[in-house]
Amino acid sequence: MDSTHLQSQISSLISFVSSHCSSGKGLGTTSSAIYDTAWLSMIQKPSNSGHFLFPQCFTYILRHQLPSGGWTSYATPIDGILNTAAALLALKRHSLFFPSSQRPSQPELTTWPLQNRILLAESALKSMLAQWDVASTDQVGFELLVTRLLLLLEEESGVQGQGLSSFPGSSTLRALHDAKLAKLPANYVYQARSTLYHSLEALWGYIDFTKVGHLKEANGSMLASPASTAAYLMGLAEKGVWDEQAEEYLRGAVDRERFGGEAEAEGRLEERRGDGGVPCAWPTETFEVTWVVTTLAEAGVGFGEQEGRGIRKYLEEGWARQDGLLFSFFPGGLVDADDTARAIMALRHLGANVGVDSLIRAFEAKDHFRTYEGERNPSISANCNVLTCLLMMDDPTVYVRQIVKTAKFLCEQVHADSVREKWHINELYWMMLISQSFASLFDAMAVNPALEASVFQLAPELREQIPTTSLHVLTKVLGSQGLDGSWANGIAEVTAYGILTLSWLSHLPWIQQLGRMHGVNFITASIENGKAFLEAHKQDWKKGQYLWIEKVTYASPVLCEAYCLAAAVVPVPDFTGSTVDANGQVVHRTNDSLFVSASLLHGVLKAGQLISLTPLFRDLAPQLLRVAEMQACYALGFLQQKRQELDIFPITGGDEKYMTFIPLTWTASNALRVQATGSHGHGHSGGLSNYILQEMMILSMLNYQVDEYMETAVERDFLGFYEGSRGSLDAIREVIDQVFDEFNPSGRRRRRSIWGDSDHTPTNLKIIRSTLARYVRYILLHPAVISAPGGVRARLAREVQTFLLAHVQHADDNIQFAAAGSNRVFSCHDAAGGQEEEEEEETGLPSPISEPTDSSSPPPSKRRRLSSSSSPSLDTQTRTKIFNPPNPRTYYSWVRSTSADHTSCPFSFTFYTCLLSHNPGKHGNGNGNTTGNGNRMGENLFSRDAKTSYVTEAMVRSLASLCRMFNDYGSVARDHAEGNLNSVNFGEFHLSSAGRRGDGNRCMGKGGLGGKKDGKGGKGGLYGDGDGDGDAMEGEKKVKEELMWIAEYERRGLERAMGELEGLLVGGKEMEGVKLFVDVTDLYGQIYVVRDIGVGVSRG
């Protein structure tokens, strides 16, 4: 970019801000709001005279009515509801005096009469209310504002207005309204200023406005709110009283000077003032001044002596006006932590030596900083600003407890997806601020070892929490960037946030490590692409977008320009481990000791290479996979620690490469969802919280371990000792039933144990029961499960029990499979079909069970492998392996029942739905159980209605069957070597060849897998019935092709079920969660096809 032009534009912006600081006039460049303008348009002086004080405001309302009859929704549904309800009320008030009122010339009414406007506006408002999701709304005081407006509308027009208060979310709205009012003590509003004064219009009809005038601001306003001040004047007028100062404040808001960008956004460059519109808050000078100063200064911009002195003088006067304590968003207003932190930072950037003691005293809470007294839920952006402010102090170690508290709060909010940013609608705003806070922390620790030691001594968990949080943010930022380099579909201001976020993240050691690992640095490329977009769209730098939250969302042209300028001039990181600061000094920020270990990273990168070969991940952006790999490194450390803490299953010391794959399958699949949804709009990107990902990683680990445990301690050791007798199988089933009796005491049945009336259960069986009980308790007593509906908890318990019993049935199938290989052997002499002879062998399975001398550890001489008689080495295998049990089952029935249950997919998904509907955060939003970004997820998929429950279960069954098919496709050799039943062992896969020979059984050629015997070419092979390796390979190919065809058929059923489910879940985030689970499960299947990663179980 042209540095001269940039510097000129920066100087111009600073001069504009400085001049307003010196002028004494109120500064506020925020956009006009239909809502507040409508309230001003209703003021009559005197009351009920028909003489409206601000006719230009009514003209503004008429000009902005949409053809549909409503008024615009700037960025959220509640914007349109508030704008339309307030404007409709204004139309009705004016209609009472039509045509006798002394109204100005209104050409708008000539072409569109007032009564027609009212009818269309009512229809539009009803439509908006019908579609409104009340529970996901979290804008300032909406529960009071909307409720009061609807009641006023009904009072205004009687029959004509009936029905507005009856809509799908009306009961939820009423409950929130009543709860809010219940928290307000009697006469509270008359006693002291509070945030309620910003919304006094919501109390119209409830309070006496003559009793609140003494609490107005020095500028005559009610907490700088035009709507609240208008309601105050209207309330006075009804009592025959007036307040000239309040009227003067409102005239100042109507006639305020317009910033160039605001006028341009309105499409009227020639109109700098007086179009009749007023903003939702005015003035906002402290807010806009401090945000401009800090944003530019943090990007390395210096301030000229004259301009800097003027701004500093203005801020210092405000500091003195508040007795050296705190700041509001306008001079003299109600103080808050957000503006105070920014003002302190601005003053320090301008050379003033101010401290943070007053900030701490006023706003420090138990585990975070409050924005203001009485706030309902905390603000993440305010806490980010507080943390950055604390780190600007000369010696931040003095405030290490506050630093740790705030850092932990930020990490926990992001981890649980509990972020409810109350001041901005786009997640990139708070992500930019949290990245700045963490970068500031590690920059400070790099030059202050005492601070690093103190922070990690107080909170060692931050060593992992901050990296995982920052990598979560990095995934979101990279995944939501558009192909043109922009964010939020081409919004310049949000694109600036994205650039600045990446710039701050590049300070962090683990992200520096990421940048050094790869030849082309994707973070640098992303920043450069963003800068190129800004350069090509300079005309948008002064066009603020509706991103900031008040009663309705608003735009700030001056902040838009400041952020765009900062993003344009911020240096592009070089990832050399050092960077140049604003004064040209080299600052070494990277602490190599905080890098991920090379050995850990190496294993995860190898797993990443394998994952990248699967069809699912061919289109995942390489940079997102690289970040997912780094996330998996930290998650793997967490997982290993969690395994030791839980101590559910014994550590066998066997091959555990699954531990490397588990974290990456979840982090990479999450990145895939972020990429799929990231650039769709300027709200929130896809993907799920670290909390859900980690909890599912733990469950995945435990499921791998229970598989291994059932195959070793249960199937190989216990059942192997008893040679797989029917009694031993029943013993394991009884143990599983006993485990679940704990969770179903009312359904517990008195049954006679196979061990007799007294408990003579062998010790090794007691150990199995105890181990499985720990596993089951972890799942069924998980907080997310405990908080789920009773029906869902019962479903989960049944499914976990079914899963464990499926392991026993699978063992039973393997035993029968092995016995079939011993008792019924068919020799294939040649491809033409020779004589077949049946041989019988005795297996000698002992029954009933007799307890060994040392039941906990039977002597090795007495142990027998379940497959010892039927699974010789690959080189000596000569017998067929077709599953033909005494109770015949088709492949379809097996893969839909025992096989699907054995995968753990069904119960794992039910557990997953509990996580989706669970909010683990400490700070609720007061509106019900919703996710951090406003998407309602409190209702479990299995507790909504019959349609959703049925389609969900059908989808999961298809997914489980598909998973088994892919698993078997990739595990044929391993299952053959271990003597396990595989899909291809069912007779359906051998019907065509058997038909050609005229027999009912498929013969396997001699020589085992690949047609080798004793290292030489044999006849056929495992799948061949002809001579040599060629026929063997052809037979294997055909069988596996059939299995893959069936799997793809099952996939089409899965996709259909998912399509139906998506139609049932329109507007919810749950479907994104469903897709993520499906992706992870599907990924495992695809990995099995690429390479078998299962846990190898020794059978001897």
pLDDT in tens, 148-172: 999 999 988 764 445 677 899 999 9
pLDDT digits (tens, 9 = 90+) for 397-408: 999 999 999 999
CA distance 600 to 602: 5
Write the CATH number for 221. Answer: 1.50.10.160
| pLDDT for residue 883 | 86
| pLDDT for residue 563 | 98
| pLDDT for residue 928 | 42
- Say whether both 253 and 364 belong to one domain: no
Mean pLDDT of 41-54: 92
Strands 578-580 and 586-588: antiparallel
Which amino acid makes up residue 663?
Answer: P
User: Residues 458, 401: contact at Cβ < 8 Å?
Assistant: yes
User: Residues 328, 286: contact at Cβ < 8 Å?
Assistant: yes
- Say whether both 799 and 871 belong to one domain: yes
pLDDT digits (tens, 9 = 90+) for 1014-1067: 333 333 333 344 444 556 567 778 888 999 999 999 999 999 999 999 999 876
Q: Which token pair is 226?
A: 């035009």
| pLDDT for residue 751 | 56
Mean pLDDT of 110-115: 81
Which amino acid makes up residue 944?
Answer: R
Helix H or strand E segment including 587: strand 586-588
The confidence band for 904, taking pLDDT boundaries of 50, 70 and 90, is: very high
- Please state which of the ranges 346-355, 544-553, 1001-1010 shows the lowest mean pLDDT: 1001-1010
Residue 952 belongs to some domain of the structure: yes
User: Residues 966, 1086: contact at Cβ < 8 Å?
Assistant: yes
Phi and psi torsions of 38, nearest 5°: -60, -40
| Rounded percentage of the chain residues whose pLDDT exceeds 90 | 59
pLDDT digits (tens, 9 = 90+) for 909-935: 999 999 999 888 666 544 444 444 443
Strands 1012-1013 and 1016-1017: antiparallel
| pLDDT for residue 748 | 54
| Rounded percentage of the chain residues whose pLDDT exceeds 70 | 79
Residue 10 belongs to some domain of the structure: no
CA distance 1014 to 64: 87
| pLDDT for residue 956 | 97
User: Residues 663, 632: contact at Cβ < 8 Å?
Assistant: yes
- Say whether both 74 and 133 belong to one domain: yes
The confidence band for 875, taking pLDDT boundaries of 50, 70 and 90, is: very low
Which amino acid makes up residue 392?
Answer: M
> Interior CA angle at 36 toward 271 and 79, to 5°?
100
The confidence band for 1009, taking pLDDT boundaries of 50, 70 and 90, is: very low
CA distance 875 to 865: 18
| pLDDT for residue 92 | 94
In 3D space, the residue among 264, 248, 292 whose CA is nearest the CA of residue 54 turns out to be 248
Would you say residue 23 has pLDDT above 90? no
The confidence band for 595, taking pLDDT boundaries of 50, 70 and 90, is: confident
Q: Which token pair is 342?
A: 């920014």
Would you say residue 859 has pLDDT above 80? no
In 3D space, the residue among 622, 423, 642, 666 whose CA is nearest the CA of residue 521 turns out to be 622
CA distance 1085 to 964: 8
Residue 658 belongs to some domain of the structure: no
The confidence band for 844, taking pLDDT boundaries of 50, 70 and 90, is: very low
- Say whether both 1056 and 966 belong to one domain: yes
- Say whether both 920 and 774 belong to one domain: yes
| pLDDT for residue 1031 | 62
Phi and psi torsions of 548, nearest 5°: -95, 145
- Please state which of the ranges 952-956, 973-977, 1055-1059 shows the lowest mean pLDDT: 973-977
CA distance 243 to 382: 35
pLDDT digits (tens, 9 = 90+) for 1070-1084: 899 999 999 999 998
Residue 210 belongs to some domain of the structure: yes
Residue 431 belongs to some domain of the structure: yes
- Say whether both 859 and 967 belong to one domain: yes
Would you say residue 35 has pLDDT above 50? yes
Domain count, the chain: 3
- Say whether both 243 and 326 belong to one domain: no
SS3 497: helix
Model-level pTM?
A: 0.87
pLDDT digits (tens, 9 = 90+) for 604-622: 999 999 999 999 999 999 9
Quick one: 214 exposed, middle or buried, by C-beta within 10 A (0-12, 13-18, 19+)? exposed
In 3D space, the residue among 65, 62, 61 whose CA is nearest the CA of residue 40 turns out to be 61
1012 strand-pairing partners: 1017
- Please state which of the ranges 114-123, 446-455, 476-485, 883-892 shows the lowest mean pLDDT: 883-892
Residues 195, 199, 203, 205, Cα dihedral to 10°: 140
Residue 9 belongs to some domain of the structure: no
- Say whether both 291 and 260 belong to one domain: no
SS3 580: strand
Q: Which token pair is 103?
A: 């109204």
222 strand-pairing partners: 225
Phi and psi torsions of 1034, nearest 5°: -65, -40
* Residue 578 zone, left/alpha/beta (φ > 0; ψ -120 to 50; rest): beta
Which amino acid makes up residue 662?
Answer: I
Would you say residue 1095 has pLDDT above 80? no
| pLDDT for residue 17 | 92
1052 strand-pairing partners: none
Which amino acid makes up residue 218?
Answer: A
Omega prior to 571 cis, within 30 of 0:
no
Omega prior to 745 cis, within 30 of 0:
no
Residues 891, 896, 900, 905, Cα dihedral to 10°: 150
Which amino acid makes up residue 359?
Answer: L
- Say whether both 879 and 828 belong to one domain: yes
Which amino acid makes up residue 1080?
Answer: V
The confidence band for 972, taking pLDDT boundaries of 50, 70 and 90, is: confident
pLDDT digits (tens, 9 = 90+) for 368-420: 999 988 787 899 999 999 999 999 999 999 999 999 999 999 999 999 998 88
Helix H or strand E segment including 1017: strand 1016-1017
User: Residues 420, 368: contact at Cβ < 8 Å?
Assistant: no
Residue 670 belongs to some domain of the structure: no
pLDDT digits (tens, 9 = 90+) for 672-718: 999 998 755 545 678 999 999 999 999 999 999 999 999 888 877 77
Give CA separation, 486 vs 99, 132, 685, in Å: 52, 30, 14
Q: When comparing pLDDT for 1069 and 363, which is higher?
A: 363
In 3D space, the residue among 816, 815, 817 whose CA is nearest the CA of residue 711 turns out to be 815
Query: Which of 235, 265, 295 is at the close of a domain?
Result: 265
Residue 849: CB atoms within 10 A of its CB come to 18
- Identify the DSSP state of 548: E
Mean pLDDT of 43-49: 89
Query: Which of 594, 629, 645 is at the close of a domain?
Result: 594
| pLDDT for residue 447 | 94
In 3D space, the residue among 440, 435, 442 whose CA is nearest the CA of residue 469 turns out to be 435
Residue 911: CB atoms within 10 A of its CB come to 23
Q: Which token pair is 431?
A: 């992500």
The parent domain of residue 193 ranges over 34-265
| pLDDT for residue 926 | 43
The residue length of the chain stands at 1100
- Say whether both 257 and 307 belong to one domain: no
CA distance 643 to 651: 9
Would you say residue 906 has pLDDT above 90? yes
Would you say residue 754 has pLDDT above 80? no
| pLDDT for residue 337 | 93
| pLDDT for residue 576 | 74
| pLDDT for residue 888 | 82
Which amino acid makes up residue 124?
Answer: A
Phi and psi torsions of 579, nearest 5°: -145, 160
> Interior CA angle at 327 toward 426 and 220, to 5°?
100
Q: Which token pair is 12?
A: 């111009």
CA distance 1076 to 632: 16
Residue 923 belongs to some domain of the structure: yes
Phi and psi torsions of 835, nearest 5°: -70, 140
| pLDDT for residue 793 | 96
The listed range with the strongest mean pLDDT (137-146, 173-182, 343-352) is 343-352
Which amino acid makes up residue 324?
Answer: G
- Say whether both 857 and 972 belong to one domain: yes
Write the CATH number for 422. Answer: 1.50.10.20
Could you tell me where the DSSP H helices lie in 570-656? Answer: 598-611, 622-646
Query: Which of 545, 575, 594 is at the close of a domain?
Result: 594
Residue 1086: CB atoms within 10 A of its CB come to 19
- Identify the DSSP state of 364: B
In 3D space, the residue among 175, 456, 125 whose CA is nearest the CA of residue 117 turns out to be 125
SS3 336: coil
Please provide the average confidence, as pLDDT, over all residues in the chain.
83
Would you say residue 514 has pLDDT above 50? yes
CA distance 383 to 394: 20
| pLDDT for residue 811 | 87
What secondary structure, in 3-state letters, does 247-279 show?
HHHHHHHHCCCCCHHHHHHCCCCCCCCCCCCCE
- Say whether both 444 and 587 belong to one domain: yes
